[in-house]
Amino acid sequence: VGLGSALRSLRVADRFSPEALDRRVAAAVNATSVRALLYRLRGLVPQLRAEGIGLDYDRLMRDLERWTHPEQRQRVRRTWGLAYHVWKPANQDTEGTGTDGEGPARS
């Protein structure tokens, strides 16, 4: 599961305030350096683990490597944002969302 999808699962788990989680995700995604992004992710990843939500760490590493290149950073942000903000019926939030796990669900 990619970061955006994992954070979406965390949001719909209703254990944390959706507004607070939205703010934390926005702060991470709007980070301008890898160091700032890592700082923000250090607070989010343990929440994913506490809820038992899987995360593809290999994909996250590739995304972090791309983040170092300003021309690719927007693509990573867009991928995470689409997966995080996609609307799906509640019973589909735990199902796969496409071939790469990051895109919107197909009907």
Q: What is the pLDDT of residues 88-97, one digit of tens each?
A: 665 554 444 4
Per-residue pLDDT of 39-77, as tens digits, reads 999 999 999 999 999 999 999 999 999 999 988 999 999
Contact 85, 92 (CB under 8 A): no
Backbone angles phi, psi at 28, to 5 degrees: -65, -50
Q: pLDDT averaged over the chain?
A: 85
Nearest alpha-carbon partner for 21 in 48, 39, 1: 48
pTM of the model: 0.77
In this predicted structure, what is the pLDDT of residue 86? 87
Assign 41 to helix, strand or coil.
helix
Q: How far is CA 100 from CA 6, 11, 93, 103, in A?
A: 13, 20, 15, 7
Structural domains of the chain ordered from first start: 3-89 (1.10.520.40)
